[in-house]
Amino acid sequence: MRILFVTSEAFPLIKTGGLADVSGSLPAALRALNADVRILIPGYPAVLKNLVNLEPLCSIENLPVVGRAELRIGNMPDTGVPVIAIDCPTLYERDSGPYINSLGFDWEDNPIRFGVLSKVAATLSATGSPVKDWMPDIVHCNDWQSGLTPAYMKLSHPTTAKSVLSIHNLAFQGCYDASMVERLSLPRSSFQVNGLEYYGQLSFLKGGVFYADALTTVSPTYAEEIQTAEYGFGMQGLLDLRGHEIKGILNGIDTNEWNPETDPHLAKNYSDTSISGKKAVKAALQKQFGLQIDANAPLLGVVSRLTYQKGLDLFVETIPSLITKGAQIAVLGSGEAELENSFKALAAQYPSQVAVTIGYNEPLSHQIMSGVDMFIMPSRFEPCGLNQLYGLRYGTPSVVTQTGGLADSITDTNTLTLADGTATGFKMTEVTTHALSVAISLGLAYYQDAKTWRKIQRNAMNIDISWKHSAQSYLDLYTTVLAN
């Protein structure tokens, strides 16, 4: 089976969040199951620089605004997965992030940049594709950035290939002025409720939701949640209509990249049977962060985008009382200025107990996931969430809300789950500061009981969170879609 996996970010080439982790690891897992996968991604400077064996593939004509772009093909540096990069400097050769400029604002031509990504994907799947010797059977799109691909495939690029759209986060919908429909060479007639129109605007994501042959999201619980007004961000009606078709497949993780036994970023490696190295990682982290070096002080960690979604404003409110209980806090993240400032103020107030790094730092993210005792993730919504999965693998139990992938991947600790060996973390009963305090306090109480804590860590580390099962679920879905 040939699969074109269309994405706007992929680790280790370029990453802003979990989509990059998934795009870096799922295609490799599909390849291990004998699928013939190619990734399609914009040729940002970091992509063109880091791909190996890069060579010209073909030119693509008739693209909106830019006319023509060159496609290059290479391989992922670590997994060897083939990657097609769209080499179009006008659109992608920019400093700063893939979506925002150095001032933190969206690039204003994002609809063109990702409209072109979507159109190139459709062109490569169409009967007249310039790449004759590799036609995909499945075009797997991800989030709004490639959401127009299924629309192009249905409206202007006839193909026998089928499209699958994975929703990683419904909060980002790619909404733009209606005039974009024509600028992106989409038929005017498609701008209607049964098409691309969404509350008077063009929505890339709605285009995908409406035209894709199959829809998935990144956890079973989120698949249910997005059909409700609370989590549907206005799209619940359409999603509800397609309800039975939305398959929730829980993300896996790259078990090579996230492996406490071999992780090169850790002061000491360790495993579920010999976990003492985790203490050395904690001590190194305390030292690096200028925290008091104390093996017994419970250390709580955060690695996150600092946005409303992540609920970390609730954590900020609990920190003063945690400090009085002798806890330490290590935070790595960036995002909304107000949250960044709140964390920085706490670090200034309690320098030996709270450490905060604002920014993006891949090695430090591994050190925190491993070196802290508990990971804090009070998300208001979380389609899947990867850090709690990394926490499982590193023997770092998480405190989480009961939403999306957090609900599906963490089992609350209580007498029953301790007895049957399933306890792996702590679940808040609601999304409030009080509920977070209660869940953390419970965690701290268990932490004092070394034997039970070790049991929870062992339960967590023994869960198979590799892509093996989920990649097979995607293959099964592709097979079903092709058969229909």
Residues that bind ligand ADP (CB under 6 A): 17-18, 21, 303-305, 332-334, 360-362, 365, 384-387
Dig out the tokens for 46 from the structure. 């970091």
Q: Residue 196 binds which entry of ligand ADP, ligand GLC, none, with Cβ cut-offs from 5 to 8 Å by kind?
A: none
Q: Which does 402 bind (CB under 5 to 8 A by kind): ligand GLC, ligand ADP, none?
A: none
CA separation for the pair 438, 418 (Å, rounded): 19
Which of 190/365 has CB closer to ligand ADP? 365
Q: How far is the CB of 65 from ligand ADP (least distance, A)?
A: 29
Residue 2 has phi, psi (to 5 degrees) of -100, 130
* Upper half-sphere CA count for residue 174 (Cβ side, 13 Å): 29
Cα–Cα distance, 479 to 371 (Å, whole number): 42
Decide which of ligand GLC, ligand ADP, none touches 255; Cβ closer than 5 to 8 Å per partner kind: none
Minimum CB distance to ligand GLC smaller for 60 or for 306:
306
92 versus 390: smaller Cβ distance to ligand GLC:
390
Minimum CB distance to ligand GLC, residue 93 (Å): 25
Which residue number places its CB atom closest to ligand GLC?
18
Contact (CB, 8 A) for 126 and 159: yes
Identity of the residue, 333 or 397, whose beta carbon is nearer to ligand ADP in the bound complex? 333
What residues does 23 pair with on adjacent strands?
Answer: none
Residue 303 binding partner per list ligand GLC, ligand ADP, none, with a CB distance cut-off of 5 to 8 Å that depends on partner kind: ligand ADP
Residue 84 · residue 76 · CB < 8 Å: no
C-beta of 17 vs 320, nearer to ligand ADP: 17
236 binds, among ligand GLC, ligand ADP, none (CB under 5 to 8 A by kind): none
The position carrying tokens 């996931």 is 369
Kindly state the smallest distance separating residue 385's Cβ from ligand GLC, in Å.
Answer: 5
Cis bond upstream, residue 12 (ω within 30): yes
- For residue 425, give the nearest of 447, 456, 401, 394 by alpha carbon: 456
- We find the least distance from the C-beta atom of residue 144 to ligand ADP, in angstroms, to be 14
Integer distance in angstroms from the first to the last C-alpha of the chain?
15
- What is the CA 250 to chain-centroid distance, rounded? 11
| Minimum distance of ligand ADP from residue 366's CB (angstroms) | 8
CA distances for 94 relative to 79, 91, 113, 312, angstroms: 26, 8, 12, 31
Q: How far is the CB of 414 from ligand GLC (least distance, A)?
A: 25
| Chain position carrying tokens 């949640």 | 225
Question: Residue 16 or 90: which CB sits closer to ligand ADP?
Answer: 16
Judge whether 458 and 394 are in contact, CB under 8 Å.
no
Binding site for ligand GLC (CB under 6 A): 17-19, 22, 168-169, 218, 251, 382-386, 405
Q: Which is nearer to ligand ADP, 51 or 170 (CB)?
A: 170
Distance of closest approach, residue 303 Cβ to ligand ADP, in angstroms: 5
Give every CB contact of residue 144 below 8 A, 6+ residues apart in sequence.
114, 172, 173, 174, 203, 204, 205, 208
Which of ligand ADP, ligand GLC, none does 218 bind, CB closer than 5 to 8 A by kind? Answer: ligand GLC
